[in-house]
Amino acid sequence: MLLEAKNIGFKYGAGDWLFRHVDLQVEALEVVGITGPSGVGKTTFSRILADYELPNEGTVTMDGKPIMTSSYHPVQLVFQHPEKAVNPRWKLRRTLNEGWQPNDDFLDKLGIKQEWLNRWPNELSGGELQRFCVARALGPKTKFLIADEMTTMLDAVTQAQIWHAVLDIAKERNMGVLVISHDQHLINRVCTRVLEF
């Protein structure tokens, strides 16, 4: 499985180019970092890969073909702020089961307690809520996960737990992972190579 972005260029509205001529190839089982100064467009680029935005130039393909966007998207994103990524009016069970139905072993692996499923998002800590966003993004049809500052707001122990589980699951499932982060230590630890934006 190969995710390929070729010659990507993007601008918001009629503004200047945010970036142009960006190329990236990620294969199954690769863990690739994306780094660069604040505001250069790393998050925007990840949104293009996951089809939240259309590029003004260039193409995104999987195994050489355009990605079908009508069903579950094989490129899934997890953001820094889980509270912005869930519906505050849905209990966590509903949010979790939006895309797929993980079993108890899977939830255990990510440190999700059964009792949390019956709570509202505002009744969980940021780290607890982020585990749900990660679980939701790791459905069986996910081929590539983009972690955009996924654990930035978490303490070191929780960061390590979540990354350990995600990398384990990615390996089991033959997934590729993109890691957007300003944390050079994390990038060095988990990534095999880096795209400097």
Q: Give the residues lining the site for ligand ATP (CB under 6 A).
A: 12, 18, 38-44
Residue 45 half-sphere exposure toward CB, CA atoms < 13 A: 31
Nearer to ligand ATP, 158 or 181 (CB): 181
Nearer to ligand ATP, 75 or 107 (CB): 75
CB 91 within 8 A of CB 118: yes
Q: What is the maximum alpha-carbon separation in the chain?
A: 49
Name the DSSP class of 48: H
Nearer to ligand ATP, 129 or 146 (CB): 146
Whole-angstrom Cα distance, residue 39 to residue 18?
A: 9
Whole-angstrom Cα distance, residue 29 to residue 176?
A: 5
Q: Provide the minimum distance between the beta carbon of 131 and ligand ATP in the complex, in angstroms, as a whole number.
A: 22
Q: Provide the minimum distance between the beta carbon of 51 and ligand ATP in the complex, in angstroms, as a whole number.
A: 15
Nearer to ligand ATP, 81 or 91 (CB): 81
Q: Provide the minimum distance between the beta carbon of 35 and ligand ATP in the complex, in angstroms, as a whole number.
A: 9
Is beta strand 57-62 parallel, antiparallel or unpaired with respect to 2-10? antiparallel
Q: Provide the minimum distance between the beta carbon of 68 and ligand ATP in the complex, in angstroms, as a whole number.
A: 25
